[in-house]
Structure 1
Amino acid sequence: MEQQQQLQRSTSGSPRSPSSQPYLSVSVTDPVKLGNGVQGYISYRVITKTNLPEYQGHEKIVIRRYSDFDWLRDRLFHNYKGVFIPPLPEKSAVEKFRFSAEFIEMRRQGLDIFVNRIASHQELQHSEDLRTFLQADEETMERLRSQETGIFKKKPADLMQIFKDAQSKVSDIVLGKEKPVEESNLEYEKLKHYIFELENHLAEAQKHAYRLVKRHRELGQSLSDFSKAVKLLGACEGGALGKAFSELGTKSEALSVMLQKEAHQLLMNFEEPLKDYVRAVQSIKATIAERANVFRHQCELAETMKLKEINLDKLMLTRSYKMGEAEHEYNELKAENEEATRRFETIVRLMNEEIARFQEHKTLDMGIAFHEFAKGQVRLANSIADAWRSLLPKLEACSTQ
């Protein structure tokens, strides 16, 4: 995973190097558990290194918790319509998993990838909210999190429901269950179809990756249990057979440890990247829903303008005293429609740029993930074969006596 993170950073334009070139590099490190029970949470050190003039110094270290990262993502989603906001790693509600060493490390890596994707994004890296997140003291962040303005009056669960409803709405449009006002754009239809198909295929691959991890762990545990039983059997037998059984138990124990390590590597370098891309596609679907909403609003304004224009023409013909008020309303509506049109065109432009960037990064990340998976399976298969092969002469000698 660390190799994957380095590659992501190096290819995204945020080098940790030469001060002569603009750079913004972020590390999420040192997770620490604070509090107990439902009040417990994990804090992280967020280290920022940069030479950008808008930042306070070349290095800054702050303490952040998951809800701070969540705040940043909500702010970016609200302020950057049309941009695919990177997803956050999942938040486990089960305490025994939430505070396990494996889950904590998995989340730390996920948060590190999340914030570096933002820091390397040509639009998001200039966000004032990002600068606040990377530089503000803990009291300021706590105050910002507690502020409720606009969309942030909604509780997180309510906000997620809004996204789910919006995604469901887009799903209905794509599947033809509903026929509201929508874009008649072939490229946009292809994009929606691609995203929904991609989500299904990634989710299916991730499900089977999870099963592979589980299988490795179960086989490792079985070998561990087998090792104990064979060692006890060897102790009872004695002689050459007992020694052979003892070595069989030792090899089985070593292979058990190897399988457990490989299961962890498979989780971190294969299953988790797949799961991360499932979440990324869900973020894209939320952006698609925003685009559909803006388009519908623009169409509604255009229809209302037509009605206002017809009414204004009638009032001009009759020289009605209401003509001034009607003209004022029409001009206000025209300005609002022009703004809605600009907003929609911006979203379309950004989405076109974003999908090209997304596909480029996906190709790289998926290539790394599947390459690591294949290398791990080859390494494991060779190690297992070598371990059993080394035992064959001794076991064969016992079987021919």
Structure 2
Amino acid sequence: MEQQQSGSPSPRSPSSQPYLTVSVTDPVKLGNGVQAYISYRVNTKTNLPEYQGHEKIVIRRYSDFVWLRDRLFDKFKGVFIPPLPEKSAVEKFRFSAEFIEMRRQGLDIFVNRIASHQELQQSEDLRTFLQADEETMERLRSQETGIFKKKPADLMQIFKDVQSKVSDVVLGKEKPVEESNPEYEKLKHYIFELENHLAEAQKHAYRLVKRHREMGQSLSDFGKAAKLLGACEGDILGKAFSDLGNKSEALSVKLQREAHQLLMNFEEPLKDYVRAVQSIKAKILKLGASLKCQMIFGVFLIYIYYCRDKLMLTRSDKVGEAEHEYKEAKSEEATGKFETIVRLMNEEIVRFQEQKTLDMGIAFHEFAKGQARLANSIADAWRSLLPKLEAFTSDPVTFQGCAHVYA
């Protein structure tokens, strides 16, 4: 939110408009060995009445952020929950300064996206995350979900064989409800395509970062070799080689610095959106899985009656009754809820696309600026050496003088 520096309060100032801002700062390593982890200082500023005061500072660890995301993912069916920065799969990088800063930045983006979302910012779980003491968070983190909170995919696996048998024997090859909804199919197709394109762009961004770092290392090695070569030459040629080595090492530093900027301002934003799209994809697939799970329970009822009818050769009317109940539930309740959530998801996609356009525009702008800045620095550095090096190719006297020293 904007704030006026002076004068009477603006209608848009925090004093008159609701605001909720969060900063994730000061990563600190705690513990040793496999028990080591990074804690973060989470500072919340708000004027929302449901919060405890205008400012609150708590200490959180990565698993607390995971707890928040999982809670929101389960409770807000049609809302796309922002992704978390990934965990390091390589132990030696887990506590590197670069990785810690990337994670801190990712966690800051994650929690502020939630805080700025009109619906998610009302979540009781968010308020708990931003205000509860460390002991409370640890207790909440360690609570077991229990068998009745199994994911739809787990329940689907239980009834997989039943669904197959009933589909073949009783219902035939009926098309699933989620596949018969054009809006759902359009949404799913868009997200799957976007994931492929973003993943491809992020893969090449990674290669650019790697190339910058490798080139920087090569220039550093070449610079050292050039200076050693210069030490074996006469004063004039030795000075030229020494200058060449110094320029190479200076450019190496610039390339390494630009590689870091490219990582933070280009590759990481792309990677963040790959994770965001994967999160949306998971939400979409979970919606379809939830509907299938609900349908399977209905199908299971039919299957029970069907088997009973086949074994006892009686009460054949029960199969028809079960099918009727199943179809009613499918058309009125399951399909209705499904379509409502799809509409919410389409609204979320519009918001997501607007934010993606802004963020990707910034990322590509930073990329272009960085490459232009680096290209100019490299050109200027080599250009400054040309007069000295050209002297050895254009002035035979200079060459003869150098050769005479070692004759």
Same fold (TM over 0.5): yes
Compute the displacement of 1:190 (Å): 2.0
- Match 1:269 to one of 259, 262, 265: 265
- What does residue 310 of structure 1 align with? none
- What does residue 120 of structure 1 align with? 116
Alignment of 1:229-244 (within 5 A): 229-244=225-240
- Match 1:380 to one of 374, 381, 391: 374
Distance in 1 separating the partners of 2:147 and 2:274:
25
Q: Is the 8 A contact 1:214 1:263 kept in 2?
A: yes
- Match 1:363 to one of 352, 357, 360: 357
Compute the displacement of 1:93 (Å): 3.1
Kindly indicate whether residue 347 of structure 2 is the aligned counterpart of residue 353 of structure 1.
yes
Q: What one-letter code is carried by the residue in structure 2 that aligns with 1:186?
A: P
Cα displacement string for residues 55-80 of structure 1 (whole angstroms, at most 9, x for unaligned residues): 00000000000000000000001111
The number of residue pairs the alignment matches comes to 352
Distance in 1 separating the partners of 2:82 and 2:101:
19
TM-score (normalised: structure 2): 0.79
Gaps of 5+ in 2: 3-11, 158-173, 304-320, 399-407
- Match 2:21 to one of 22, 25, 37: 25
Rate the CA distance shift 1:142–1:336 in 2: closer, same or farther, 3 A. Answer: farther
Rate the CA distance shift 1:82–1:150 in 2: closer, same or farther, 3 A. Answer: farther
- Match 1:91 to one of 65, 71, 87: 87
Compute the displacement of 1:197 (Å): 1.0
Compute the displacement of 1:290 (Å): 2.2
Compute the displacement of 1:194 (Å): 1.3
- Match 1:399 to one of 381, 393, 404: 393
Q: Is the 8 A contact 2:21 2:115 kept in 1?
A: yes
Overall identity of the aligned pairs, in %: 83
Distance in 1 separating the partners of 2:227 and 2:362:
40
Q: What one-letter code is carried by the residue in structure 1 that aligns with 2:251?
A: L
Distance in 1 separating the partners of 2:224 and 2:18:
58
- What does residue 389 of structure 1 align with? 383
Compute the displacement of 1:90 (Å): 0.3
Compute the displacement of 1:304 (Å): 9.4
- What does residue 224 of structure 2 align with? 228
Rate the CA distance shift 1:264–1:214 in 2: closer, same or farther, 3 A. Answer: same
TM-score (normalised: structure 1): 0.80
Computing the radius of gyration over CA atoms, which structure comes out larger, 1 or 2?
Answer: 2
Kindly indicate whether residue 275 of structure 2 is the aligned counterpart of residue 284 of structure 1.
no
Distance in 2 separating the partners of 1:355 and 1:101:
35
Q: What one-letter code is carried by the residue in structure 2 that aligns with 1:380?
A: L
Distance in 2 separating the partners of 1:96 and 1:84:
33
Compute the displacement of 1:343 (Å): 3.5
Distance in 2 separating the partners of 1:152 and 1:30:
39
Distance in 2 separating the partners of 1:221 and 1:17:
50
Compute the displacement of 1:348 (Å): 1.8
- What does residue 149 of structure 1 align with? 145
Q: Is the 8 A contact 1:305 1:334 kept in 2?
A: no
Alignment of 1:173-184 (within 5 A): 180-184=176-180
Compute the displacement of 1:193 (Å): 1.3
Gaps of 5+ in 1: 1-5, 8-15, 166-177, 308-325
Q: Is the 8 A contact 1:301 1:333 kept in 2?
A: no
Kindly indicate whether residue 140 of structure 2 is the aligned counterpart of residue 137 of structure 1.
no
